[in-house]
Structures are given as structure tokens and as C-alpha cells.
Amino acid sequence: MDAVRWGIIGTAAIALDKVIPSMLRAEGVNVVAIASRNADKARAAANRFGIEHSYGTYEAILADPAIEAVYIPLPNHLHVEWTIRAAEAGKHVLCEKPLALNVEKLNSLIACRDSTGRLIQEAVMIRAHPQWDEVCRIVSSGEIGEVHAVNGVFTEVNLDPKSIVNDAAIGGGALYDLGVYPITAARVVFGTEPERVFAASAFDPAFGVDRLTSAILLFSGGRHASMAVSTQLALRHHVVVFGTLKSLSLSNPFNPTPNDQCRIVLSDGSTLEAAAAETRNIAPADQYCLQAERFSTAVRSGGSVPIELEWSLGTMKILDAIRRSVESGAPEPV
């Protein structure tokens, strides 16, 4: 197929360090322009990656008729505004997570998609990694028995006062920055939505953002998912799936590099010795590259995107319920 012509709206670190390099390796993807509110930053990024055009405003990139799709790595509070503006300008949109800051705003994106006919997808790149396909295959096969619990953790240290993650006014904090990952893991494994959540947060006294949020997601049939996310704890991310016959754990569930060989470890609990567990290796894969390729294929084929907005709405309902539970101190319905 003819390569889809992409523009990048913003020069965030995730775009420069991870997404753009992967997009440049992707089949059916041609990154032709990048924009920043600082023309020098846009020009420097374009020179770094050999991108043909750079723009000193976001509006300019939307006005370029050659661009078919845009990737948006802007701060969280700008996702909805610029996704809508891009779709109304005739562009398909792949936007970073979380796609919105509440259910009402996400519903406005669904309305925009339906009115413009443009494709809009949240950039939950882990859904493109083959290790999650293998997890789903193992769970559905019954090999680990009936799954009743999932535990997901994503922690890291970010004490930079200039970081958008530490700015409460623009959607910063651990829950918005990292919560999508363990929530996605639980929903993928259980294949359904939680009914209630119970959550607690600890807030940074200077930044005003949640530096630690923990939650229990209560699914039907007495199934639970527990999660913890933090921006001020030592780097760690893991997922463990507990079945009646075996447990399943992922060595690098959320952020493997294109060269990382991911491992799925199965254990029947007969011994706590690690040597008794079975390890299944997953070949290295570039999840950002695969994400861009699949979105581009949807653009060219006129088909649906891999992650529909209705999926993202489910995530947003959970995030909203977690925030309500933090405030109320009680379980909240999803």
C-alpha cells in the first residue's frame, strides 16, 4: 500500500526518543512533518530525523493538505482539543494516553469521530506487542485454570518540578501518567469491565499531584485486579496473573524496547524455587512500530482501528471511578 503521510504535533520526549524513531522504521508510514510552538525546536527535530517539513505552530501542520494522519504527544489536558481540531481538519489521529481527563471529554471525541468520519485512536502501544497476544492465548486455553486475580504495578521516579507529570493543572500525577497500563492489563486478561473500584492516593505536598495511587478493581464472579502506580518510587513494572492451576508473570509488560526479549513465566506453585518455573520467550518486537503500521493500515483500508474509542471510554470510566473513590474513601461504581 502507499505509505500514509504523517505529521507529528509536538516535540515531547516520548515522541523524540521512542515513537518517531519507530515510525521511521515502520512499513506504510511516512513521517513528513513535525510541529512545535517553538519553531527552532521543530526545526531541530526535523533535522535530527530527516523529516522534510517543520512548522512553528500546530495550526500550520493541520493546514498542510499533504498530511493524512497526525500523532499527538502533547500534555494530557491538550489531547481532546487538538484531536478534535485535527479531525475537523480532515486528519486521522493517533493520540497519547490518557486520551481525555474524564468521561464527558472522551464522549466528545466519540461524537467528533462519528461526525467527521476520521479515525481516532488512543496510543496504548502495549496492545500491539505480541506478548499480550500470547498472554490472551494462554489464559483462554485454560492452561493456568480459572483466572481470579491480576496484579499490576508501574512505578518510577520523577521529581522534576518542570515535568508535566508533576503539574496538577494539566492532568499530571501517577494515575493519569501510568494508570492506563495496569488497567489495560486487567481488562485484557479478564475480557470484561470491572463493576466497582476501591482506591487510595498519596499526594505530593509541593506538586499537588498523586505520587502514589493504589486500587482494587472488582469484577464479576469475585475476581479482583489490584494495581499500584507511582511517580516517586523505584522503577518497577510487572504483571502477575493468578489462575487456579498456575500463575503467569511478565518480565517486561509495559515498556520493552525493540530489542528486548520478553519472558512469560508460568509456575504451578509446587515449589517457590524459580528454577521450577517454565519460561516462554517472546521474540523482540517494536510495539510503537507495530502500532503505527496497524493504524496506517486502517487508514488505507478504511477499516476500524485496533483500539476503538469505546475501549478508551472503558478505561476512562475506571479512571473516573478511581478518582471518585479516592475522594469518597469508599468503593465506587464504574
Q: Strand (E) positions, the chain?
A: 4-9, 29-35, 53-55, 69-72, 92-95, 120-122, 147-157, 196-203, 210-219, 223-230, 232-243, 247-250, 262-267, 278-282, 332-333
What is the model's pTM?
0.96
> Tens digit of pLDDT per residue, the chain (334 long)?
799 999 999 999 999 999 999 999 999 999 999 999 999 999 999 999 999 999 999 999 999 999 999 999 999 999 999 999 999 999 999 999 999 999 999 999 999 999 999 999 999 999 999 999 999 999 999 999 999 999 999 999 999 999 999 999 999 999 999 999 999 999 999 999 999 999 999 999 999 999 999 999 999 999 999 999 999 999 999 999 999 999 999 989 999 999 999 999 999 887 666 556 899 999 999 999 999 999 999 999 999 999 999 999 999 999 999 999 999 999 999 9
Q: What is the pLDDT of residue 277?
A: 84
pLDDT value of position 251: 86
Domain 4-125+289-303 has CATH 3.40.50.720: yes
CATH of 130-284+317-333, one of 3.30.360.10, 1.10.260.40, 3.10.400.10, 3.40.50.80: 3.30.360.10
Q: How many residues does the chain have?
A: 334
Q: Report the 10 Å Cβ neighbour count for 266.
A: 18
For residue 255, give Cα distances in angstroms to 150, 159, 160, 231, 261. 18, 20, 21, 15, 12
* Sheet architecture: strand order including 92-95: 53-55, 29-35, 4-9, 69-72, 92-95, 120-122
Q: Domain limits of the chain?
A: 4-125+289-303, 130-284+317-333
Q: Report pLDDT for 275.
A: 56
Strand order in the sheet with 232-243: 278-282, 262-267, 247-250, 232-243, 147-157, 223-230, 210-219, 196-203, 332-333
Residue 270: what pLDDT? 76
Residue 190, classed as helix, strand or coil, is: helix
CB 276 within 8 A of CB 270: yes
pLDDT score, position 49:
98
